[in-house]
Amino acid sequence: MQNSSKESITIAEEFIRETKKQEQRAIIMKLVPIVLLIALIIIFGSITPQFLTVSNLYSNILEQLSILLVTSMGTTFVILMGGIDLSTEGMVGFAGCFVGLLVQNSANDMNLGILGIIITILFSALIGAGIGLIHTKLRLPSFIITFSAGYIAQGLGVLTYKGIPAAILDEGIRNLYFHKIAGLPVLTWIAFVVFFIALFLEKKTAFGRYVFAIGDNEKIPVMSGVNVNKVKILVFVWTGICFGIAGIMGAAKLGTSQIYIGQDLLFPTLTAVVVGGTSMSGGQGGVVNTLIGVLIVTVLQNGMVMAGVPNELQKGVQGLIIISVIVLSRRRSRKQIVK
């Protein structure tokens, strides 16, 4: 009887210790991105004095993060549910090409204005819905579907302008970049609006709670009667909307409709989400974490450019950072299934 009591106490104590370890680890993982961001600011500030100027920290960095913040808001939800989206570059590029031919441009007589923007976002959402349907109905891994969809979207984008990019003449679109409010382009304010919408979806809706539940352990929401497939489809719809908005922002900034609008966006987007603290296995992190991750990536890129670091080395540094954070953020057993 005494042995049984001692064994029970030992198991209880072990459980308490393990719980405390997990709580401490969670706190550390929340602090790591913030410490990293502060460290980068201090390092680049000491290397390049111009880095710490108000014009750079406020105007340049907040302007540069706008498109990345929007793409990252979409990708965050996919990763939260344990999936991954590799269609970023193709989808953003396609949206940029598509909207350029719907508003006033040099290639055709279309001049739909705001309606062209709405159609582009809706079409991007439709593509996202298609990705979600294929992923759920055919039970194919998200990375395969999204990787293929990215290339399909990229091909469609090139076909829209047939090798000759159209110049965007619509002043409303162009002013998204040129017009400034409080010293920042309208694009930046749009990016923050998307962030707050994502935050609302995550914190205040059943949809957000279901996304976390699916990423943590998909069997539990299934047993609770949650339509998991519907949630997954809606996640890809939201991602499609974000990529569509990002494509429009890229077209407004570049002034032309061409597929290169989405070039080199995939890796920074994934880096921002993961470095911010969202676990690649799902169920942990969120859009606030991603905002910090976007700031880290933007500060890193901005600082390395100002310090004269070659582009190839910049990508290498980002790669090292994302691998390091993934290793640090592993919180589950080695038997976990990677989706």
- Residue 6 pLDDT more than 60? no
- Residue 328 pLDDT more than 70? no
pLDDT for 63-122, tens place per residue? 999 999 999 999 999 999 999 999 999 999 999 999 999 999 988 888 999 999 999 999
pLDDT for 141-194, tens place per residue? 999 999 999 999 999 998 888 778 889 999 999 999 999 999 999 999 999 999
Closest CA to 301 of 311, 293, 292, 291: 311
Q: How far apart are CA 142 and CA 311, in angstroms?
A: 30
- Residue 58 pLDDT more than 60? yes
Q: How confident is the model at residue 9 (pLDDT cuts 50, 70, 90)?
A: low
- Residue 11 pLDDT more than 90? no
| Domains in the chain: boundaries | 34-328
pLDDT for 191-226, tens place per residue? 999 999 999 999 999 999 999 999 988 889 888 889
Q: How far apart are CA 300 and CA 322, in angstroms?
A: 13
Q: How far apart are CA 183 and CA 190, in angstroms?
A: 14
The set of residues, in sequence order, having a beta carbon less than 8 Å from that of 210 and lying 6+ positions away, is 221, 226, 228, 231
Residue 338, pLDDT score: 41
Helix (H) or strand (E) holding 296: helix 287-306
Residue 15, pLDDT score: 64
Q: How far apart are CA 123 and CA 243, in angstroms?
A: 11
* 21-28 CB contacts, 8 Å cutoff, 24+ apart: 22/331, 25/331, 26/284
Place of tokens 């290339």: 151
Query: What residues are paired with 71 via a beta bridge?
Result: none
Contact yes or no for 174/168 (Cβ under 8 A): yes
**Which class is domain 34-328?**
mainly alpha
3-state secondary structure (DSSP) of residue 168: strand
**Rounded to the nearest 10 degrees, how much is the dihedral formed by the CA atoms of 207, 211, 212, 213?**
90
**222-226, 289-293, 332-336: range with highest mean pLDDT:** 289-293
Residue 22, pLDDT score: 65
Greater pLDDT, 336 or 238: 238
Residue 337, pLDDT score: 41
Exposure string over 273-283, b if 16+ CB within 10 A, otherwise e: bbbbbbbbbbb
Query: What residues are paired with 180 via a beta bridge?
Result: 185
- Residue 333 pLDDT more than 80? no
Q: How far apart are CA 273 and CA 291, in angstroms?
A: 8
AA letter at 4 = S
Contact yes or no for 256/167 (Cβ under 8 A): yes
pTM, rounded to two decimals: 0.89
- The count of other CB atoms within 10 Å of the CB of residue 189 is 16
Closest CA to 38 of 299, 302, 323: 299
Q: Which two tokens stand for residue 170?
A: 């619509």
3-state secondary structure (DSSP) of residue 180: strand
Q: Which two tokens stand for residue 330?
A: 């592993």
